[in-house]
Amino acid sequence: MSTPFVADTTALTGRSMRHIARSVDTIITTAITPIAIMLLFVYVLGGAIDTGTDSYVTYLLPGIMLIAIASGIAYTAVRLFTDLQSGIFERFHSMPIARSSALWAHVLTSLVANGLSIVIIVAVGLLMGFRTSAGVLAWLAVAGILALFTLALTWVAVVAGLSAKTVDGAAGFSYPLIFLPFISSAFVPTDTMPGPVRAFAEHQPVTSIVNTIHDLFAQQPVGNDIWIALGWCLGILVLAFLGAMAVYRRKVS
């Protein structure tokens, strides 16, 4: 990676982060809906849900974090769409900077913003009774998986932001991603689901990611789930990155 690219990306990331700093409510808003879902399921529905664990909030938290990420990347698509509409990209391209650095700035900003949302959600989870015996290495593994998941979905958001015709279209792509954890092992074990639903739930990326985080928090062997989770995340990341760069080249050519 060339030094000019790193310098350009760092400068543009600083610009994006200043926008985030001036609108902290964006991070709070991203965390509020997942927290509301967590409160609803734990305190209203949790007593009727049998997950085979002592603490439902501990079982639920991994899925809530994934919902927060899926919700947060919508803001990346909107910010990117807004920059395109404002003409800022044309101004960047008239300057001697690496063209792809503008995209990477949005991606890195997404990683930071979503990371802050996750911290808020974990803090609320602790207040609600979330407990784990996971050590430092397990927590680092969880953070790495969440970061990779965020990175993969953020590049999907980049494609949406570059392709959208309206700001609603830029944000709307995230809705199916937000609901995906509901058809997974995030809220109930998949073996409680009817056949076709169970088949879908067990073969989509959220279930393997949630199962891996569950095992890490419980300090249990992660088995094959971690490799399936990494395969999903890396596959989505590569395809989304290639798609985003192809769309971007068409936009700036």
Q: How many CB atoms neighbour CB 9 within 10 A?
A: 21
Where is pLDDT greater, at 85 or 211?
211
Q: What is the pLDDT of residues 221-244, one digit of tens each?
A: 888 999 999 999 999 999 999 999
Lowest mean pLDDT among 13-17, 177-181, 241-245: 13-17
Q: What is the pLDDT of residues 125-167, one digit of tens each?
A: 999 999 998 899 999 999 999 999 999 999 999 999 888 888 8
Could you tell me what percent of the chain has a pLDDT over 70?
85
At 1 the pLDDT is 47
Q: Could you tell me the residue ranges of all domains in the chain?
A: 3-252
Q: What is the pLDDT of residues 72-126, one digit of tens each?
A: 898 888 888 887 777 666 666 666 566 677 788 888 888 988 998 999 999 999 9
| Residue 197 scores a pLDDT above 60 | yes
| Residue 200 scores a pLDDT above 90 | yes
At 175 the pLDDT is 85
Phi (first) and psi of residue 33, to 5 degrees:
-60, -50
Where is pLDDT greater, at 197 or 84?
197
At 109 the pLDDT is 87
Could you tell me what percent of the chain has a pLDDT over 90?
45
At 60 the pLDDT is 94
At 182 the pLDDT is 92
Phi (first) and psi of residue 110, to 5 degrees:
-60, -40
CB of 238 within 8 A of CB of 95? no
At 169 the pLDDT is 82
- Taking phi over 0 as left and psi of -120 to 50 as alpha, with beta for the rest, 219 belongs to left
> CA nearest 78: which of 162, 165, 171, 13?
171
Q: How many CB atoms neighbour CB 145 within 10 A?
A: 22
At 25 the pLDDT is 64
At 248 the pLDDT is 85
Q: For residue 247, what are the CA distances in angstroms to 8, 150, 160, 182?
A: 21, 20, 10, 31
What's the rounded mean pLDDT across residues 43-66? 85
What's the rounded mean pLDDT across residues 62-75? 92
Indicate the average pLDDT of the chain. 85
